Amino acid sequence: MPQLITREKPYNPGQYGRLNTKNESHRCLTYPKEHYEKWGKTLENLASNGFYLTKSGENFNLSCHFCFNIKPLVLDVDQMFTFAQGKDVVQISEWHLRRATYCKCGDPGGENFPRKRVNVFESERACSLLAATFNNPGLWKVSPYDLARDGFYLYDPDANNDRVKCTSCEVVVGNWQETDNAHEEHVKAAAGNECDFIDGTPKEPKNVPVYKETYYRYTGGRIQGDEPLNDLLLRGGGWGVKDAEFPKFASLEDRAKSFTSMWPLKESIPASRMAACGFFYAGQEDKTICYFCGIALHKWTPGDNPKAEHAKYNPDCTTLRGI
């Protein structure tokens, strides 16, 4: 009977509906403003190497999104921040891969989505605002998350002030006070000028909210102009690739191919059966992952029923429909 491998849940100080830690910018958003004030660029370097922040009780830890598939790499946050301070992305990567040779963070064919630093992405706007607090505590008198939601990003990263610019109407606002409301000040500053964030809910591709960013990064969809993105549908009735945890394995054929000669139960649980139940092979031991819901199972035994085991841990997964 297989057992569940669990990924540490990301800390979510911005209270977004969902952070998908395959996105580098989402990993950056797991670090609160107080950490950016102290550690700054170090956090971005760690996020680039797959690390995001988790919290259990009052304790913070770092977890790598990509090591999770094989053997979770979880680190004490204070020790890791101290170690990483002053080290660049390459130095942290070299240390990371010495500790976890199996990690797929740097795999160009993997599911890591590097930062785009394009301000139509809500997460990129929030990251620009958070990064500005390094060695400048108290910079933001209003929530940087609220500013990003209302379309604002840091206007001049080199100016060391709180001026922000709207990605739609391009108005610039500064000298924020603790009593200010991001949206109300936006309306005043725009003074009747047309703005997607004021006139109604801004539509993609002019604004991409956090919960839809994985879809855009995976499809390579246009983020300028009004041409709609292709809606890549999965079987199962209306569910899109945008909803999958590992869209690279949305194809039944690709999942089946992942079960190489290394799959230890190829005689008793053939690749075709595992793939039909949504699983692809993680590449070590008997670790398998559902491409859609992301659950990871290991310690399979001959005679196990992959559909039943999948349903036991996540009965609501779309891949189980029609099997």
Fold agreement between 122-199 and 241-320: yes
Q: Is residue 89 pLDDT above 80, yes or no? A: yes
CA dihedral 285, 290, 291, 294 (to 10 degrees): -100
Indicate the pLDDT class of residue 272, thresholds 50, 70 and 90: very high
| 90-128 as b/e: b if 16+ CB within 10 A | eebbeebeeebeebbbeeeebbbbebbeebbbbbbbbbb
Written as one string, the DSSP assignment of 171-213 is -EE----TT--HHHHHHHHHTT---HHHHSPPPTTT-B-GGGH
- Tell me the whole-structure pTM to 2 decimals: 0.73
Strands 59-64 and 74-76, bridge-based pairing:
antiparallel
Instruction: Tell me which residue of 114, 108, 94, 100 sits closest to 25, measured CA to CA.
Output: 114
* More confident call, 317 vs 256: 256
Which three-class secondary structure string do you get for 108-140? CCCCCECCCCCCCEHHHHHHHHHHCCCCCCCCC
Q: Is 313 exposed, middle or buried (0-12, 13-18, 19+ CB in 10 A)?
A: middle
CATH number of 241-320: 1.10.1170.10
Domain positions in the chain are: 7-99, 122-199, 241-320
Give the whole-angstrom CA distance, residue 173 versus residue 180: 12
Q: Is residue 44 pLDDT above 60, yes or no? A: yes
Q: Which amino acid would we find at residue 220?
A: G
Q: Which amino acid would we find at residue 194?
A: E
Which regions of the chain does DSSP assign to beta strands (E)? 3-5, 51-56, 59-64, 74-76, 152-154, 164-166, 172-173, 279-281, 288-290, 296-298
The pLDDT of residue 159: 86
The pLDDT of residue 204: 60
Indicate the pLDDT class of residue 222, thresholds 50, 70 and 90: very low
Question: Per-residue pLDDT averaged across 260-289, rounded?
Answer: 89
Contact between 22 and 123 under an 8 Å Cβ cutoff? The reply is: no
The pLDDT of residue 178: 95
Tokens of 189: 């500053």
- Domain 122-199 fold is Inhibitor Of Apoptosis Protein (2mihbC-IAP-1); Chain A (1.10.1170)
Helices (H) and strands (E) in the chain, counts: 13, 10
